[in-house]
Amino acid sequence: MRKWVVLTLGVLLAVAGLISLWQGIGLVEFERGTAAVIAGAVFLTGGIITIALHFVLCALEQLQLGAPASAVALELATSKELEAPALVEAPKPEPEVKLPNAAALPPLPALQPRD
């Protein structure tokens, strides 16, 4: 039931977006037309996403009908992937590297201009 409401809402959003786009294209030179085109694009995109959500809900329903929840839970409970990983010893910190003092370094020679 819920998936059909989602599909209906998606189709209504997409149709409203197309209507708003159609009406706004002729008025683009005015501020109202630009707003109508932007709103139409948002509604159309929202409708397409909502229609895609309908198909996701249909696929999830097929998964639910295909495998009982208790069988899936039993398989997950006996899966080796869910075992806790073995504790690993933390790596030791690297020794600190001492850099020479910048004042102790000799000055760099000046660059000669190119000809």
Q: Is residue 114 part of a domain?
A: no
Q: In the chain, which ranges are continuous DSSP H helix? A: 2-25, 31-66, 69-77
Cα separations (Å) of 7 from 10, 15, 84?
5, 12, 42
Q: Is residue 97 part of a domain?
A: no
Higher pLDDT, 77 or 35: 35
Higher pLDDT, 32 or 11: 11
Q: Is residue 85 part of a domain?
A: no
Higher pLDDT, 79 or 46: 46
The answer on pLDDT for 46 being more than 90 is yes
What SS3 string covers 42-73?
A: HHHHHHHHHHHHHHHHHHHHHHHHHCCHHHHH
Domain that holds residue 46: 2-65
Q: Is residue 27 part of a domain?
A: yes
Q: Is residue 73 part of a domain?
A: no
Q: What is the pLDDT of residues 55-113, one digit of tens each?
A: 988 888 887 777 555 565 666 666 655 566 667 777 788 888 777 676 666 777 787 87
Q: How many domains, the chain? A: 1
Higher pLDDT, 18 or 93: 18
Q: Tokens standing for 35? A: 């707003």
Q: What is the pLDDT of residue 69?
A: 56
